Amino acid sequence: MFRRCCFCAFALVTANLFFQTVQGGILTGTYSGVPTGSNVNLTAAGPIDWVHWGLYTESSLDRKDGVVPQIDDFTLLGSSNGYAYVYQYSDNYNGYSWSDGTPTVSVNDTTTGVWAYGVPVLGSGFAFTVPAGTNTRMLKVFVGAFAAGGEFEASLSDNSASPYTAAPSANIRNGPGWVFSITFAANSPGETLTIKWRLITTRAADGNVTLQAAALSAIGANNPPVVMLTNPVNYASFPAPANISIGARASDVDGTVDKVEFFNGTTKIGEDTTSPYEFTWNNVPPGYYSLSAVATDNGGEMSGSQTVEVFSYGSGGTLSGAVSLPPIALNLATEGTADWAHWGLNTNSMFNHKSGVAQKITDFTAIGSRPVQRYSDNRTAFSWNGGTPTPTATGASNGVFIIGTGNGFIIGAPADTNPRRLKVYVGCYSAEAIFQAYLSDFSAAPYTDRTLSNFFGNSYAVYTLDYTAASPNQQLVVLLRSTKLFDFDFGNVTLQAATLQGGPPEPLPVYITNPTRIGSDFIVSFATQLGFTYWLQYTASLDPIDWQPVASVPGTGEMVSVTNRNVTASQQFYRVQTQ
């Protein structure tokens, strides 16, 4: 590994620091080299919590899933009159693996980490904190240095034990790294352990210190077990009535696993007390399900697995999908003959759609708590006429986006036995995304695609969905979510537009012609279409309006006349509704 910098080493100034300690705390430490080429299993090393830094970018932070975070993200150390930056690297002398992580579920032998760049160079490095209470815990911190030497420091916020410091011998070039094992307990609850790893000597102008991972466990206490689902895979689908085989792998570093329970959402559906932990969920009706496992060890500690989403689907409907690169320019009104939608023209909440028809494509619902933002450099420039609230637009390269792992958008479109085609224009920046579509009556297998991805730039896609439902009054549900971020600060998914074709024909506007009164009867006439039903209604006053039914007639494709008989009022108001 070679890292370029443009600074020189400075003389090292040391000072003796004195701490007034309050008896009762525990803070001891040791360190050892991490063997070159070894593979540290963070899942096993961190039953309470673990973190890994720098998997994809300098802001990447992976940690143990299913637990309350204990290990904080790092802050950069640097001189008060200088500055410091952090960079990612990928040629560490040892690797790291895990199987219970978030946002990256599992990794095998990654040699990534982060390094600090400071001006002045000396004193640059990293700091992070871990909660400290009266229970004794052990924290393992994996660090390194490149053509440099570092100083490690651990201290308790209540000063109830003397700080631990150590300075391993400087590396000539890149590695190997060290693991510091810190045993600690505070004199009172609610305290913190602060870790600092800073540069104190350099052998080259580009010398620096590195940070890779940390793992937290308990000393003299029962550590929770580790559990993960091995079957089914995420987003799997099964024909109904489904018999779904569910499997889990569970282990306990300081005891045994007593049982593994299986859940759909919060509802327990089964359990197993012996390895391999398995359960078959029989006769599952059509629907969307969220599966997980919870392991309990011989000391009563419990931990949960990550969630797996699956579908069970019936028959009678159809749903197929395809993905392609969208065009440079598109007229939404031309493509969206039944309806169209565009998001983000002037604001992050602006929703334009086809006017003069009943709205069919819904506005989006945001997934996640992050704010929806607007952008204006989309690949496709959209145009339209006959829109609302903006009647016309030309070359609109706008859209909306949302940052964060698991965040995204949901939209919907009507579904029944009539064939329809929905096109959805989306994208992502420095992220991986999953696109899903399913029918609300689950009468066909869902469509899932995970090809939308870009490591450091923008990707765009148009998804074409052809579908029918098995019954009327259903909906096609469409979801776009990020599953992994390569840029943890700005990685996002985007939504721009959608168009709809097909479905039953739209009713033409209805105009009442030749209203006539003959004696006490009112007669009105209007044109009709085949396939529609028309309701004639009246009211005696427009303030207040109280529409009363007169009659309903089927459309014939011809003019029809309807008579309102024995009207006693001298004035009536009429209207016709169509469905």
Annotate 115-166 with DSSP letters as a single string: EEEEESSTT-EEEEEEEE-SS-EEEEEEEEEESEEEEEEEEETT--S--EEE
Residues 147 and 266 in one domain: no
Quick check: 206 pLDDT over 90? no
User: What pLDDT score was predicted for residue 500?
Assistant: 97
Count how many domains the chain has: 4
Percent of the chain with pLDDT over 90: 72
In a domain, 11, yes or no: no
Read off the CATH number of the domain in which 274 is found. Answer: 2.60.40.10
Of residues 496 and 540, more confidence is placed in 496
User: What pLDDT score was predicted for residue 68?
Assistant: 86
In a domain, 5, yes or no: no
Of 313, 345, 380, the last residue of a domain is: 313
Query: If you average pLDDT over every residue of the chain, what do you get?
Result: 91
What is the torsion angle, in degrees rounded to the nearest 10, for the CA atoms of residue 163, residue 168, residue 170 and residue 174? -110
User: What pLDDT score was predicted for residue 129?
Assistant: 98
Mean pLDDT calculated for residue range 448-456 = 94
What is the torsion angle, in degrees rounded to the nearest 10, for the CA atoms of residue 354, residue 358, residue 361 and residue 363? 90
Residues 148 and 279 in one domain: no
In a domain, 508, yes or no: no
Separation between Cα atoms, residue 52 and residue 173, nearest integer Å: 23
Mean pLDDT calculated for residue range 222-250 = 93
Residues 433 and 340 in one domain: yes
Residues 185 and 232 in one domain: no
Residue 449 has a CB neighbour count (10 Å cut-off) of: 17
Q: What is the pTM of this model?
A: 0.75
Read off the CATH number of the domain in which 149 is found. Answer: 2.60.120
Quick check: 13 pLDDT over 50? no
- Specify the range with the lowest mean pLDDT, choosing from 28-32, 313-317, 505-509: 505-509
Quick check: 193 pLDDT over 60? yes
pLDDT tens digits for 365-403? 999 989 999 999 999 999 999 999 999 999 999 999 999
Q: How confident is the model at residue 224 (pLDDT cuts 50, 70, 90)?
A: confident
Mean pLDDT calculated for residue range 192-198 = 97
Quick check: 131 pLDDT over 50? yes
Q: What is the 3-state secondary structure (H, E, C) of 526-568?
A: EECCCCCEEEEEEECCECCECCEEEEEEECCCCEEEEEECCCC
Most confident stretch, 446-455, 481-490, 539-548: 446-455
Residues 231 and 278 in one domain: yes
Residues 32 and 145 in one domain: yes
Q: What is the 3-state secondary structure (H, E, C) of 113-124?
A: EEEEEEECCCCC
In a domain, 357, yes or no: yes
Residues 380 and 459 in one domain: yes
Of residues 356 and 451, more confidence is placed in 451
Domain that holds residue 152: 26-218
Residues 492 and 383 in one domain: yes
Residues 517 and 550 in one domain: yes
Residues 518 and 487 in one domain: no
pLDDT tens digits for 464-479? 999 999 999 999 999 9
In a domain, 16, yes or no: no
Residues 341 and 449 in one domain: yes
Q: Are strands 521-527 and 236-239 parallel, antiparallel or unpaired?
A: unpaired
Separation between Cα atoms, residue 64 and residue 117, nearest integer Å: 28
The answer to whether 78 and 88 have CB atoms below 8 angstroms apart is no
In a domain, 507, yes or no: no
User: What pLDDT score was predicted for residue 5?
Assistant: 34
